[in-house]
Amino acid sequence: MIACDRKGHVEFRVFLPHAADVRVIGDFTAWRTGALPMRRSYPGWWSVDADVPAGQHEFCYLVDGHLWIADYAAHGVHADRAGHWLSRLRIAPEHAPA
């Protein structure tokens, strides 16, 4: 799930108790190049905070280096040409980081 504040600050959270590594990848991270490593907290939640620029974005959670998981609690989902399910994230210009 995601939580956005009025300054473009986004908290990403996902429950994956059996994962060894979870990262947020998306167009705002240059996909894998700038992937955001998530922190594990008991009992299986993973989270990371990020400042995301204004605009429409796509992202997903990369689990253990190979499994792409969409966030169905985001602003929508769709399948890309490769068959990966991606989440949508919209940051309004007035809510973007300064």
What CATH number corresponds to the domain at position 89?
2.60.40.10
- Residue that is written with structure tokens 């996902």 in the block: 14
Tell me which residues of the chain have a pLDDT lower than 70.
Answer: 6, 94-98
What's the pLDDT score for residue 50? Answer: 92
Split into its structural domains, the chain has a count of 1
What's the pLDDT score for residue 95? Answer: 52
Domain of residue 29, residue span: 2-95
What's the pLDDT score for residue 83? Answer: 86
